[in-house]
Structure 1
Amino acid sequence: MGRNEEAYTALDRLRNPKPQSELNKQRVGMELSEIYFSHETGLGPERVSFRELVKEWFCARVKGIARTPHRRIHPLSFSVFLHTMYQCTGINFIMLSLPSLAESDEALSDPLVIALVFSFVRLCATPMYMLIFRKLGQRRTLFFGGLVVSSCHFLTAIVGMAVGLTHEEFVVNRVQLVFMALLLFLVASSWAPAVWIITGEIPCTATRSRDIGISAGVHWLWAVFASVYTPYLIEIEWVRRSAIFLLFAFLSLGSCLFAYYFVPETSRLFLEYIEVIIQESDPRVTREWKPSDTFGWRRDPRTEVKHCRVPRVRKRWTSLRE
């Protein structure tokens, strides 16, 4: 900003190539004001230090974030917790424990065969996310995806308990491998792509790169932690067969609750409106949210625009109300 007169002249020449009425000139000023306020909203709050971030996790006041009746969370904290909930689905443990489980099956004892089979499963699952996202949106995709993943973990644990009740260990291994492949398919078609998309949309423009970098670092930190504890867990038969899947079943239910209470519906929204919806709306009702006005709904001293109301934007953001 700063060169407001030149910006107004350029926008007026673009919108009105011929002399127009005063009303059209006022609309140009309103549009310039809208551009300024959307840019200002996109910048978002000031940078949040790690010390302030820890304070926020303990419900303390964070600089630049006002306290409101609704329980809200800073975008950086939200991104970190979302990646943590993604790891609670048990995806890393499944990927690391597959070779040891498949060793008892001669047909899948080759690590290359295992890698090819389950890579093909993930490859086929990822395009399914685009279809699910169009029907359900981000929020419902995470919620229902977590429910189905939790159910699949429970079934895998039940099958693992059958090892001590039957001598058909070969059959049990095959059934568990099928359920684990189904788990990979479910996570790859719901949580895996949605988490990275949402964490890229939630942060404000001024801090997006830093927030995404920190949340991605937390993601890989959990992956390293999983690679450390997995070799010890798979050495214990009852843990490898059933106990760990029961644990991840309950953790997946926790991921569902996190998606229900904290994840807003960001599909079909501009990035500026995502910043507004985090500050103003309860995530549980964001699917029905639509703005009552635009960013230019006030006087802008930089562009000398009068206090005036601009048309509301429809829910699907495709056109303006006349």
Structure 2
Amino acid sequence: MFFRWRTMFYIASVPGVVLALGMEFAVDSPRWLCKVGMLNDAKAVIGNLWGESEVDKAIQEFQSVIKNDGSDLDSQWLELLEEPHSRVTFIGGALFMLQQFAGINGVLYFSSLTFQDVGITDGALPSLFVGITNFAGALCASYLMDKQGRKQLLIGSYTGMAVSMFLVVCAISLPLDEDLGHNLSILGTLLYMFSFAIGAGPVTGLIIPELSSSRTRGKIMGFSFCVHWVCNFMVGLFFLDLVEMFGVAPVYAGFGGVSLLSALFAYYFIVETKGRSLEEIEMSMNSNYQAGDK
């Protein structure tokens, strides 16, 4: 056992080392280069990344946003209460709150509990399937993100999570054949993880900075991730107590209900950002830009 946990930590350190080495080959952000006056360097990066035909348009958009927004170092936390920043702050906090209360960490941390409740005592193999499914979903998300759009992926993801939770509830609550109940529970859990991985997980972390202005992006992300970790902590703290009080089926039914609420929230509040630059998104959400363009 002593050897196993050490080996696990050694393996977990490998991605961090690879990422640190890979960052040595990353280029500076053209937006930052433009902000500090290094226009030639910014043009070179834009030309390499997006093509020479996009250089002039991108530089013009960068300079327009910088001129209107000012520096992010000059922004204040109270600006998050003002439009248009308050709208994005609300969306960011709500998205992360709904993401956590939809039960992802309850299902991920305690997935073996679901299988045990329907009579599957060996949780190692199902947990392995959960991890593989999560990875497969993330690969699909990387392909679908710019094909289907952020909003559509969020709606589809949360709808799939709701259906998955109700499948697990049926497997636990209904008087089904034992083998059918086992298979339905496994199917529901794996479908839940896959649905989360293609939308609710990656899109939530991507769309908030896309919607944020350059002036307040750091503060909005800081606030949103604070909400994320507080809700994460609450789910981890109270999940087992809730299961002990009410049982797995009612708790998972609650997760399914929150997932449906999240799909509705995405439908009514999320702005599609697919195929649009950060500057285009910011100008469309800020009335000051729109007024200046007329």
- The answer for the alignment partner of 1:311 in structure 2 is none
Q: Is 1:217 matched up with 2:226? A: yes
Partner amino acid, structure 2, of 1:261: Y
Following superposition, the deviation at residue 120 of structure 1 comes to 1.0
Q: SS of the counterpart of 1:109?
A: coil
Following superposition, the deviation at residue 43 of structure 1 comes to 4.3
- Output the TM-score relative to the length of structure 2: 0.69
Q: Is 1:99 matched up with 2:112? A: yes
- The answer for the alignment partner of 1:49 in structure 2 is 77
- The answer for the alignment partner of 2:286 in structure 1 is 279
Decide whether aligned partners of structure 1 residues 214 and 179 sit closer, same or farther in structure 2, where only a CA change above 3 A counts: same
Following superposition, the deviation at residue 147 of structure 1 comes to 1.9
Following superposition, the deviation at residue 107 of structure 1 comes to 7.1
- The answer for the alignment partner of 2:255 in structure 1 is 248
Q: Which has the higher helix share?
A: 2
2:158 to 146, 158, 167: 146
Q: Are 2:284 and 2:290, in contact at CA under 8 Å, matched by a contact in 1? A: no
Decide whether aligned partners of structure 1 residues 243 and 110 sit closer, same or farther in structure 2, where only a CA change above 3 A counts: closer
- Cα distance in 2 for partners of 1:233, 1:188 equals 25
- Cα distance in 2 for partners of 1:87, 1:31 equals 36
From the CA coordinates, give the structure whose radius of gyration is larger. Answer: 1
- The answer for the alignment partner of 1:201 in structure 2 is 210
Provide the aligned C-alpha RMSD in A. 3.5
Following superposition, the deviation at residue 209 of structure 1 comes to 2.1
Residue deviations 1:202-235, cap 9 Å, x none?
Answer: 2222222222122112111111101111111232
- The answer for the alignment partner of 1:229 in structure 2 is 238
Partner amino acid, structure 2, of 1:140: Q
Decide whether aligned partners of structure 1 residues 31 and 201 sit closer, same or farther in structure 2, where only a CA change above 3 A counts: closer
- The answer for the alignment partner of 1:122 in structure 2 is 134
**Structure 2 segments unaligned to the other structure (5+ residues):** 1-36, 44-56
Partner amino acid, structure 2, of 1:247: G
- The answer for the alignment partner of 1:37 in structure 2 is 64
Following superposition, the deviation at residue 255 of structure 1 comes to 0.7
Q: Matched residue pairs, number? A: 242
Following superposition, the deviation at residue 261 of structure 1 comes to 1.5
- The answer for the alignment partner of 1:134 in structure 2 is 146
**Structure 1 segments unaligned to the other structure (5+ residues):** 1-6, 15-29, 57-61, 67-71, 281-290, 299-322
Q: Are 1:105 and 1:170, in contact at CA under 8 Å, matched by a contact in 2? A: no
Following superposition, the deviation at residue 197 of structure 1 comes to 0.6
Residue deviations 1:56-113, cap 9 Å, x none?
Answer: 5xxxxx3xx27xxxxx9532222111111222332112113312233468876254x4
- The answer for the alignment partner of 1:109 in structure 2 is 122
What fraction of aligned residue pairs are identical, expressed as a percent?
19
Residue deviations 1:112-152, cap 9 Å, x none?
Answer: x4443211111111111133223321111111222222222
Residue deviations 1:167-213, cap 9 Å, x none?
Answer: x5564234212211110011101111100111222222222222212
Partner amino acid, structure 2, of 1:38: V
- Cα distance in 2 for partners of 1:73, 1:206 equals 13
